[in-house]
Chains A and B, each alone.
Chain A
Amino acid sequence: MKFNVEEVFKKYDVSFFIGMAAIFFIGILNLYSATYNQSTSGLYKAQMLYFILSMMVGFAVSLINSKNFYRIAYYFYAINVFLLILVLVLGKVGMGAQRWLSFGVIRFQPSEFMKLSLVFVLARWFSGNSPYDEISFKQLVVPGVLTFIPAILIIAQPDLGTGLILLLIFSMIIYYRKLKWSAIFKVVLLAALAGSVMYKFGLKEYQRKRIQTFINPYQDAKGSGYNAIQSEIAIGSGRIFGKGYLKSSQASLNFLPENHTDFVFSIFNEEHGLFGSILLIMLYCILFLRFLWLARSVTNVFDSVFCVGLMAIFFWHTFINMAMVSGLLPIVGLPLPFMSYGGSSLITFGICIGLATSISNSRSIF
């Protein structure tokens, strides 16, 4: 098992980075338009810097031998959970919601990395425990606990959106790892039960409101309803061919302050219409399928589950963001990968790309 630098570069898989760059290219043009002529108009420059940074981090990660991912999985997870607890404790002291840890200049959001850590730990668990068989309901206990601990810690921050993403990643991985249909039935039943219990709690008006302020503390329910409708108007008004680049009138309406983060997709739709979004959705689908294809062609269970997990991170972000801006889901603040403004999510996605590339490279080396 030698690891030869020359070898790596000869067979370096650039497809993931190309996919990332393609979507980002559309994203940066769109961000420029979304913030055009506004107080946030300089943001695209910062976004380009973040992109270069995340490319560099992703590239560095891609050079790591993928066997190490298996080795570090549990440590990575344990450290991350510890940091989540730390955030919660420090946040309590500071009397308010807190998601960040500061190490001098570097500010760091443990919940952002938790998505990755969860993929690591679940891949590791499922590769080690009777990987030949279908999984039964009982076998979900340990991975279930591994998922719920960070999910609850994150929801308590409070950051309901990221907490739910963890659960969704978990469910996609267990489905892929051949969860028996009877067990799937039980999981669905359990989720429905838990959901309805939650709903019973949520029945009281003020509690429902509280949950909604959890989701987005600076907007009450009706306020976000207003944003959702403006977003629908933006999307619909693009019609089939769009209004043209830099011609978004809804963008200039300024959905304070998320039009460059959560609502970039609506502005893209307004300017480029259905044709534009077909192109964008196809690019995302190609990226998802690339991950799934990689999951089939690797030689061990860890890598395979790992790839599906990485795909799940991308897919759920993309789906939930698009669904919420088009009025299918309530507004929870989740970014659209490579399109939304934000350094910390961009770097996380860059790391995912790097991890997938490393796994892809390792196939040809062995």
Chain B
Amino acid sequence: MFGEEDIVKSHEKRNREVATLVLGMMGIIFARLCFLQVFKGEVLHRYSIENRLREEVLWAPRGKFYSRNMQLLVDNKPRFDATLTRQYLKNERETLAKVAEILGMTIDDIDNVIRRNAYEAKYRPITIKKNISRVELARIETENDELPGINVQVSIAREYIDKEIGAHLLGYISEIQQDQLPRYRKRDNVNYRLGDFIGQSGLEQQLDNYIRGTNGQEYVEVDALGRKRKYINTDNLFTGVENIKPVPGNSLILTIDRDLQKIAHDALQDKAGSLVAIDIKTGEVLAMVSNPAYLPSEFSKGLDPEYWQSLVGNPDRPLRDRVIQEHYSPGSTFKVVTALTGLAEGVINNQTEFFCSGAMNFGRRAYHCWKKGGHGRVNLDKAIRESCNIFFQKVSLKLDIDSIAHYARMLGFGKKTGINIPREISGLIPTKDWKQKTQGVEWQKGETLSCAIGQSFILVTTIQLALAYSAVANNGKVYKPYVVKEIIDKDGEILKTFSSELISELKLPDEYFDKVKRGLFQVVNHPHGTARWLRDSGLLLAGKTGTSQVIRQKAEKIYQKCELMPYEHRHHGVFAGFAPANNPRIALASIVEHGCHGSTAAAPVVQKVALAYMKKYHQEEYEENKKNYKKILKEFKIEI
């Protein structure tokens, strides 16, 4: 097969040429080494001994947040950190002792910081204390000569103008954690280092990529003590090195109204609860507040362990966003769904009346109405207005839980609303399948009766409630709630616009919605309505109160003596509604934990925000309604 020695021989010329090429190219390497080590050897040697090129981070300012009216909500302000560069450290113990004294730390503290960063390059500055005071700053600057290797680095701290108001929505930033590094590097294709800040919750996290900007780098020549050199280097050694300017992050214009935010926050003061307000026509979120809140700026300053403990140790869990991350049983606010299902399935019509004696029996259980003597003869208007349990339970006798679930989901319950904030939860709307799958037990008809009045398995978030009531006000149209209107770059150019998005539509005849709306209007404006105290002749608030049981209790106990129970057993107060009833503009929902009643705890919060909204944005319409109040009452079938 082989035996081709001659052919191999014929390659000898090329073989020699290849050898020459290889040796020649290695010769080039050798020549280059000669150039560096002989010709430039002295210069480079001097550099390696005394001079260093130091890399300094130029922090990119994060984008700002503005309210819908361009009021500043989140800003940046400079922050000073003390850093240590191991390479330039001299007389280590003495220097550290001195720094420790200036910064009010112990040498052990500093040693620990150094140890934690041991794997970092020696020429890279390590932060030893963040956010130093002006006095500390001044001392480090003036005593610079005695502190080789110690510097002050300017970076940017986040400032949240309204402190804790809207903290959950805005979110916070903090230093990237060791265990987040590999994941985030991969996700964003950015070479994050310890000390970099990233958004960790809320909008700061959700839109981090837009807001963050890109850090720049500056290369400075420093002397043997790590101080910047005065003279400009002339031997062109560093021509390959260019500084990179930081690119500022993009700013957000939110749909949020700063004033409403403040009013909601004040109304919830001292309570654990939530409020959300949505523009019915678009889905824009106007206000979104969860209480108790936290101070987001503390996170970017470098969190104080005591403050952190106070947050984590608080039984009210201030870090949790009660608008989207907590679900509750909706109580009577869910009766709207039962009513619509009843109308849609033909169980309720204009003539429908049930008799409420205060209780009814089904199976082996008695179901009670909250009103001991009963409501007597009840039609739909009265059932909603006075929140009669028996009416809706009798309606639900003729309804299937799956069809209630269908209409509930069409109104946005049981699934995430898709709002652009991390960690939203979906609540729960039970079906027969769901129960069979998760509990292995068949659905009981009695459970349908409980679900009809918003108890049993049903769980909703505050934002779902507001969304569902906005859908009712909108005759079935559900718009996706959103909190960011526009993303603008540093020059104010619009990069991205968010607009309203119809996510589902419950197609039912308008008269069905009108019937339900009439009942909701009467809740607030009828002399017998459950929230009649909140009547305001210009606002025309329509809504529904609800009571969310915290623990299972005997029925007759539920609606009484709530205030006498221990705090953690008290019911949650729920209210959801919209205004103005004759031309719905804003939908709101509020839940006040352990507030006992929807009408006294949650409804006032909703009313204050709705009132402020109408007076700020639709003053004329408000006055007009006030004048025509009597006429409007008649339109909603209220006789006085």
Binding site for B on A (CB under 8 A): 38-39, 96, 127, 131-132, 172, 175-178, 213, 217-220, 222-223, 225-226, 228-230, 232-240, 249-250, 252-256, 269-270, 273-274, 277-278, 281, 284-285, 288-289, 292, 295-296, 298-302, 304, 308, 311, 315, 318-319, 322-323, 326-328
B458 CB to closest chain A CB, in angstroms? 38
Instruction: Decide yes or no whether B241 CB sits under 8 A from chain A.
Output: yes
User: Of B36, B45, B121, B189, which one neighbours A256 at CB under 8 angstroms?
Assistant: B121
Q: A218-B191, A240-B37, A253-B87 are in contact. Are A299 and B2 (CB under 8 A)?
A: yes
User: Of A39, A236, A281, which one neighbours B37 at CB under 8 angstroms?
Assistant: A236
Contact A176 B15 (CB under 8 A): yes
Q: Which of B179-229 contact A (CB under 8 A)?
A: 185-186, 189, 191, 217, 219
Contact A284 B11 (CB under 8 A): no
28 A-B contact pairs sorted by A residue (CB < 8 Å): A176-B11, A176-B14, A226-B53, A229-B237, A229-B238, A229-B241, A233-B47, A236-B41, A236-B44, A237-B44, A237-B45, A239-B41, A239-B42, A252-B122, A256-B121, A274-B33, A274-B38, A281-B30, A288-B23, A295-B8, A298-B8, A299-B3, A301-B4, A304-B8, A304-B11, A311-B22, A315-B22, A319-B26
A365 CB to closest chain B CB, in angstroms? 13
Contacts of B493 in A (CB 8 A): none
Q: A26 CA to B512 CA in the complex, in Å?
A: 88
Contact A96 B186 (CB under 8 A): yes
Contact A299 B4 (CB under 8 A): yes
A66 CB to closest chain B CB, in angstroms? 11
Contact A236 B40 (CB under 8 A): yes
Contact B37 A269 (CB under 8 A): yes
Contact A254 B121 (CB under 8 A): yes
Contacts of B2 in A (CB 8 A): 299-300, 302
Contact A269 B33 (CB under 8 A): yes
Q: A236-B41, A236-B43, A253-B87 are in contact. Are A323 and B29 (CB under 8 A)?
A: yes
In the complex, residue of chain B having the shortest beta-carbon distance to the beta carbon of A299: B5
B27 CB to closest chain A CB, in angstroms? 9
In the complex, residue of chain B having the shortest beta-carbon distance to the beta carbon of A127: B4
Q: A323 CA to B540 CA in the complex, in Å?
A: 80
Nearest 3 pairs between A and B by C-beta?
A236-B44, A237-B48, A300-B2
A179 CB to closest chain B CB, in angstroms? 9
Contact B118 A39 (CB under 8 A): yes
Q: A222 CA to B11 CA in the complex, in Å?
A: 45
In the complex, residue of chain B having the shortest beta-carbon distance to the beta carbon of A218: B191
- Among B26, B29, B52, B237, residue most surrounded by chain A Cβ atoms (within 10 Å): B29
Instruction: Decide yes or no whether B551 CB sits under 8 A from chain A.
Output: no
Binding site for A on B (CB under 8 A): 2-5, 7-12, 14-15, 17-19, 22-23, 25-26, 28-30, 32-34, 36-38, 40-45, 47-49, 52-53, 55, 87, 118-123, 185-186, 189, 191, 217, 219, 237-238, 240-244
A38 CB to closest chain B CB, in angstroms? 8
User: Of A178, A233, A237, which one neighbours B11 at CB under 8 angstroms?
Assistant: A178
Contacts of B34 in A (CB 8 A): 274
Contact A292 B4 (CB under 8 A): no
Contact B29 A326 (CB under 8 A): yes
A364 CB to closest chain B CB, in angstroms? 15
User: Of B7, B12, B47, B242, which one neighbours A301 at CB under 8 angstroms?
Assistant: B7
Q: A39-B118, A225-B242, A298-B8 are in contact. Are A232 and B36 (CB under 8 A)?
A: yes
In the complex, residue of chain B having the shortest beta-carbon distance to the beta carbon of A224: B240
Contact A235 B118 (CB under 8 A): no
Q: A232 CA to B43 CA in the complex, in Å?
A: 11
Contacts of B14 in A (CB 8 A): 175-178
Contact A236 B15 (CB under 8 A): no
Contact B8 A176 (CB under 8 A): no
Q: How many A-B residue pairs have CB under 8 A?
A: 178
Contact B38 A240 (CB under 8 A): yes
Q: A323 CA to B33 CA in the complex, in Å?
A: 10
A28 CB to closest chain B CB, in angstroms? 22
B545 CB to closest chain A CB, in angstroms? 49
User: Of A172, A240, A253, which one neighbours B121 at CB under 8 angstroms?
Assistant: A253
Contacts of A304 in B (CB 8 A): 8, 11
Q: A219-B191, A222-B244, A256-B121 are in contact. Are A278 and B30 (CB under 8 A)?
A: yes
Contact A239 B19 (CB under 8 A): no
Contact A328 B217 (CB under 8 A): no
Q: A239-B42, A274-B38 are in contact. Are A285 and B8 (CB under 8 A)?
A: no
Contact B15 A238 (CB under 8 A): no
A134 CB to closest chain B CB, in angstroms? 9
**Secondary structure at chain B's binding surface: helix, strand, loop or mixed?**
helix
Contacts of A175 in B (CB 8 A): 14, 17-18
Q: A233 CA to B4 CA in the complex, in Å?
A: 52
B118 CB to closest chain A CB, in angstroms? 6
Contacts of A234 in B (CB 8 A): 48
Q: A229-B241, A300-B3, A319-B29 are in contact. Are A172 and B18 (CB under 8 A)?
A: yes
Contacts of A238 in B (CB 8 A): 37, 41
User: Of A285, A296, A299, A308, which one neighbours B23 at CB under 8 angstroms?
Assistant: A285
In the complex, residue of chain A having the shortest beta-carbon distance to the beta carbon of B42: A239
Q: A190 CA to B118 CA in the complex, in Å?
A: 50
B71 CB to closest chain A CB, in angstroms? 35
Q: A229-B241, A256-B121 are in contact. Are A274 and B8 (CB under 8 A)?
A: no
Contact B119 A39 (CB under 8 A): yes
Contact B123 A253 (CB under 8 A): yes
In the complex, residue of chain A having the shortest beta-carbon distance to the beta carbon of B29: A322
Contact B4 A232 (CB under 8 A): no
6 extra interface residue pairs, beta carbon distance < 8 Å, beyond A234-B48, A253-B52, A274-B34: A175-B17, A177-B11, A222-B243, A277-B33, A296-B15, A322-B29
In the complex, residue of chain A having the shortest beta-carbon distance to the beta carbon of B189: A217
Q: A285 CA to B20 CA in the complex, in Å?
A: 11
Contact B8 A230 (CB under 8 A): no
In the complex, residue of chain B having the shortest beta-carbon distance to the beta carbon of A225: B240
Contact B26 A285 (CB under 8 A): yes
Q: A148 CA to B229 CA in the complex, in Å?
A: 51
Contacts of A328 in B (CB 8 A): 28-29, 32
Q: A326 CA to B28 CA in the complex, in Å?
A: 11
Q: A327 CA to B40 CA in the complex, in Å?
A: 13
Contact A250 B48 (CB under 8 A): yes
Q: A249-B48, A304-B11 are in contact. Are A239 and B119 (CB under 8 A)?
A: no
A13 CB to closest chain B CB, in angstroms? 18
User: Of B9, B32, B49, which one neighbours A327 at CB under 8 angstroms?
Assistant: B32
A127 CB to closest chain B CB, in angstroms? 8
Q: A288 CA to B23 CA in the complex, in Å?
A: 9
Q: A233-B44, A256-B121, A300-B2 are in contact. Are A223 and B217 (CB under 8 A)?
A: yes
B455 CB to closest chain A CB, in angstroms? 44
Contact A284 B242 (CB under 8 A): no
Contact B32 A285 (CB under 8 A): no
Q: A308 CA to B240 CA in the complex, in Å?
A: 37
In the complex, residue of chain A having the shortest beta-carbon distance to the beta carbon of B12: A296
Q: A256 CA to B28 CA in the complex, in Å?
A: 28
Q: A228 CA to B242 CA in the complex, in Å?
A: 13
Contact A326 B4 (CB under 8 A): no
A340 CB to closest chain B CB, in angstroms? 16
Contact B22 A285 (CB under 8 A): yes
In the complex, residue of chain A having the shortest beta-carbon distance to the beta carbon of B118: A39
Q: A250 CA to B87 CA in the complex, in Å?
A: 11
Contacts of B18 in A (CB 8 A): 172, 175-176, 292, 308, 311
B437 CB to closest chain A CB, in angstroms? 30
Contacts of A237 in B (CB 8 A): 41, 44-45, 47-49
Q: A228 CA to B3 CA in the complex, in Å?
A: 50
Contact B29 A226 (CB under 8 A): no
Q: A304 CA to B6 CA in the complex, in Å?
A: 12
Contacts of B28 in A (CB 8 A): 323, 328
A195 CB to closest chain B CB, in angstroms? 19
In the complex, residue of chain B having the shortest beta-carbon distance to the beta carbon of A236: B44
Contacts of A323 in B (CB 8 A): 28-29, 32
A291 CB to closest chain B CB, in angstroms? 9
Contact B37 A274 (CB under 8 A): yes
Contacts of A229 in B (CB 8 A): 53, 237-238, 240-241
